[in-house]
Amino acid sequence: MTVIACIDDLKRLHRKRAPKMFYDYAESGSYTEQTFRDNTTDFQKIRLRQKVAVDMSNRSVAGTMIGQPVAMPVALAPVGMTGMQSADGEIKAARAAEAFGVPFTLSTMSICSIEDVAAHTSKPFWFQLYVMRDEEFVDNIIARAKAAGCSALVLTLDLQILGQRHKDLKNGLTAPPRLTLPNIVNMTTKPAWCMGMLGTRRRSFGNIVGHAKGVGDLSSLTSWTNEQFDPQLDWGKIARLREKWGGKMILKGILDADDARRAADFGADAIIVSNHGGRQLDGALSSIRILPSIVAAVKGQTEIWLDSGIRSGQDILKALAMGADATMIGRSYIYGLGAMGQAGVTMALEILKKELDITMALCGERDVAALGRHNLLVPKDFE
């Protein structure tokens, strides 16, 4: 029996079980993958200070995100095509998050639709919006998210143009994703996965196909995105969207202190310091390296969350101690989903929570709210 001890074990199993095209889609970064690699290696450059002889009983890693109680300050980030990693993957991930007590964010580019996920969950989830050129579609999807009871809109700002991932290009990944027989038989045989996927009626973008004009035309992921996404998205358009939505709004993809100030002045309920998991601007600094400048610019004015590169509870602790109010994870839960479905997502969350709790105790802290720079040894060039 394979013992799963850490997120890396889930990753290995995901790689073994999922078709190469979908594993590669999750695991790759854009262009040279420099930023993708830095996201994880930069966390390792930050070291922790041990404290002993401190009462470590009654510890808590619980917190809040935009006023919502969370079992730990971690939310599931929006991940496109999650339903390709495991049949009905969005529903499985949402259910695992709900049972665990952390927020789930449904991507615009999901396989299961907003309505599908709402029908299979009992608590509100968050909806992530990519702004398309078709304004009617955008207004309509906002209305659908409202009708489904979504409690926050996560507006992603860093992907109006798609950064190329060489692996997707070479694997022939298309948009909308098409699960055809040649796709399956050309891949190394993954019988369990094939049976699972073929058992689902959801094989394309559930939120988009049938709701927007012309999106069913098959194209490479890059050309499709560039055809559909609105390159004119600016602060004026963001204000229009907030008006349409009327609820909590989170701005995702902030990597610059001036942009963070702008977002805070705009009244964002939270900002997400994110380089999209190294999938967009290759050559950008890792999120953890940029975090201090953003904390200095807007701490206290809006919630600051961080994603990109979190693979352990130690990483979560480092992000919080560096000044983030909370974090998001993408691949860490996708590996779990691809490895073992819903149980794998739950396992990923359990692993992260346990690692966070134990690391916090060894740092001599009892509450995540007390974490700070005093717990860390940070290289000088992170400032």
In the complex, least distance from residue 252 CB atom to ligand FNR, rounded to whole angstroms:
5
Helices (DSSP H) in the chain: which residue ranges? 7-17, 20-27, 34-45, 82-85, 89-100, 114-119, 135-147, 166-171, 181-185, 191-198, 221-228, 235-245, 257-266, 287-298, 313-321, 331-362
Q: Is 276 annotated as a binding residue?
A: yes
Q: Is 312 annotated as a binding residue?
A: no
Catalytic residue among 14, 120, 211, 276: 276
Q: Which C-beta is closer to ligand FNR: that of 326 or that of 365?
A: 326
- Output b/e per residue, 326-349; b: 16+ Cβ within 10 A: bbbbbbbbbbbbbbbbbebbbbbb
Contact positions vs ligand FNR (CB under 6 A): 25-26, 39, 77-80, 107, 109, 128, 156, 252, 274, 276-277, 279, 307-310, 329-332
Closer residue to ligand FNR in complex, CB, 329/347: 329
CB 280 within 8 A of CB 159: yes
User: For the packed helices 331-362 and 7-17, what is the interaxial angle rounded to 10 degrees?
Assistant: 170
144 annotated as a binding-site residue:
no
Take residue 225 and report the two structure tokens written for it: 């995105």
Say if residue 231 carries a ligand binding annotation. Answer: no
Name the minimum Å distance from CB 116 to ligand FNR.
Answer: 16
On whether 373 is known to bind a ligand per the annotation, the reply is: no
Based on CB atoms, which residue is closest to ligand FNR, 289 or 365? Answer: 289
DSSP 3-state of 227: helix
Q: Is 15 marked within a binding site?
A: no
Q: Please, what is the minimum distance in Å from the beta carbon of residue 55 to ligand FNR?
A: 33
Which has the closest alpha carbon to 78: 210, 222, 252, 241?
A: 252
Q: Which is nearer to ligand FNR, 156 or 375 (CB)?
A: 156
Nearer to ligand FNR, 121 or 275 (CB): 275
Residue 130 is assigned to a ligand binding site: yes
- Whether 127 contacts 97, CB under 8 Å: no
Local structure of residue 112 (DSSP, 8 states): S
Q: Is 78 annotated for ligand binding?
A: yes
Number of Cβ atoms within 10 Å of the Cβ of 192: 9
Give the nearer residue to ligand FNR in terms of CB position, either 158 or 357.
158
Can you tell me the distance from the alpha carbon of 101 to that of 72, in angstroms, rounded to the nearest whole number? 8
Cα separation, 236 vs 373, whole angstroms: 37
Closest to 321 in 3D by CA, of 377, 375, 380: 375
Q: Does the annotation count 276 as an active-site position? A: yes
Residue of minimal Cβ distance to ligand FNR: 330
Closer residue to ligand FNR, CB minimum distance, 131 or 365: 131
Pairing state between β 174-175 and 219-220: antiparallel
In the complex, minimum distance from the CB of residue 106 to ligand FNR, in angstroms, rounded to a whole number: 9
105 is in an annotated binding site: no
Question: Which DSSP symbol is given to 4?
Answer: -
Shortest Cβ 27–ligand FNR spacing (Å): 8
Closest distance to ligand FNR from the beta carbon of 80 (Å)? 3
**Minimum separation from the CB atom of position 54 to ligand FNR (A):** 31
Please give the Cα distance from 319 to 101 (Å, whole number): 20
Which residues have C-beta within 8 Å of that of residue 382, sequence separation ≥ 6?
42, 45, 46, 288, 289, 292
Pick from 15, 31, 189, 25: which is nearest to 111 by CA?
Answer: 25
Distance CA 173, CA 187 (A): 13
**Which residues participate in the annotated binding site for glyoxylate?**
25, 165, 276, 279
**Which residues participate in the annotated binding site for FMN?**
78-80, 107, 128, 130, 156, 252, 274, 307-311, 330-331
**Which residues participate in the annotated binding site?**
25, 78-80, 107, 128, 130, 156, 165, 252, 274, 276, 279, 307-311, 330-331
Residues annotated as part of the active site: 276
